[in-house]
Amino acid sequence: MENGPRENLWIRWMETLDGMGYITVGFSFLVLGMVVFVHSWYAFLLKASSGVLPAVLSLLHDLLLVIILLELFRTIINFLKTHIITLEPFLYICIIASTRRILTTGAEAAYAEALTTELFHRYLLDVGVNVLVIVALVIAVFLVRKGLQSSQPSPS
């Protein structure tokens, strides 16, 4: 039993460092989100004069990245409060990432100088796969929520 208090000290020290790591990463996500937000609007203002639609697509793509970064930040905050990592925020992040991919692919196809039949079919396949991924993730969100509701005691 000599090592008991010393082991507890090491465990507390490592848990403190772990918490500091999460806090540092959380602030990094927040700062990166703010930097991307400011940069995306700056880039939008520069690109808008040469073409509004490409500038809007680029802004939308960047703002979805900001949402992903903020969702990761929120997930870290929730983990620090509860010490539980939940699945649902990661499902949302994947849905947003797939949506970003659809928009990017669509913009690339719309502004391709020579859109061959092969590139068009590849574009359709990419969009189709991402739509299926989004549908699967939405079903997963539904199932996770349904599972959470059934695991909570019902009020009598």
On average, the pLDDT of the chain sits at 89
Which comes out higher in pLDDT, residue 37 or 86? Answer: 37
Q: What is the mean pLDDT of residues 130-150?
A: 92
Give the CA dihedral 87, 91, 97, 103, nearest 10 degrees. Answer: -170
- Check the CA dihedral 133-126-73-34 and report its sign: negative
Asked if pLDDT for residue 156 goes beyond 70, the answer is no
**Alpha-carbon gap, residue 57 to 109, rounded angstroms:** 12
Asked if pLDDT for residue 66 goes beyond 70, the answer is yes
Tokens at 150, concatenated: 């059934």
Q: What is the mean pLDDT of residues 65-72?
A: 95
* Percent of the residues in the chain that have a pLDDT greater than 90, as a whole number: 57
Q: Residue 93: helix, strand or coil by DSSP? A: helix
Domain residue ranges of the chain, discontinuous segments joined by +: 1-84, 86-156
pLDDT for res 154:
62
Cα separation values, 74 from 22, 95, 148, Å: 12, 16, 19
